[in-house]
Structure 1
C-alpha cells in the first residue's frame, strides 16, 4: 500500500516526501476535527464505575507525620 502511494506521487524524492508530510497532516486534522468527535459520541466515556469516594477512608490507620 505504501509503495503504491509512493509510486503514485509525482516529482522527485524531496517533492514526494513533502507531499507525504502534507497528506499525513491532512489525515491527522481530519481525524481530530471530524472523525474522533463523531466516534466519541458513541463511546461510553461518561459511564464510570468508580464512585465519588476520595479514598480518605481507605487506610484509616495510616497517618502522615507532621514536620516541624
Structure 2
C-alpha cells in the first residue's frame, strides 16, 4: 500500500519523483524504488515522504479510498 499511496499522492500534487526526493531530502532513485515496492522503507523515511506530501504517515500506510 505504501508504494501505491506514495505515487497517488505525488501525482495528485503534480510532483516528479525528483521534486519529491528533493523536498524530502531523499534521492530520486530511492523514491522510484519506494513506488515500485523494491525496498523496505524505514519509519523515518516514511515520515519524510509523508511530510513532503503534506499527509500523515498513517495516510500512506492505509488502503486508499477510490
TM-score interval, normalised by the smaller of the two chains: under 0.3
The normalised TM-score by structure 2 is: 0.25
Higher gyration radius (CA): 1
Higher helix share: 2
Q: Which structure ranks higher in relative contact order (CA pairs < 8 Å, sequence separation ≥ 6)? A: 2
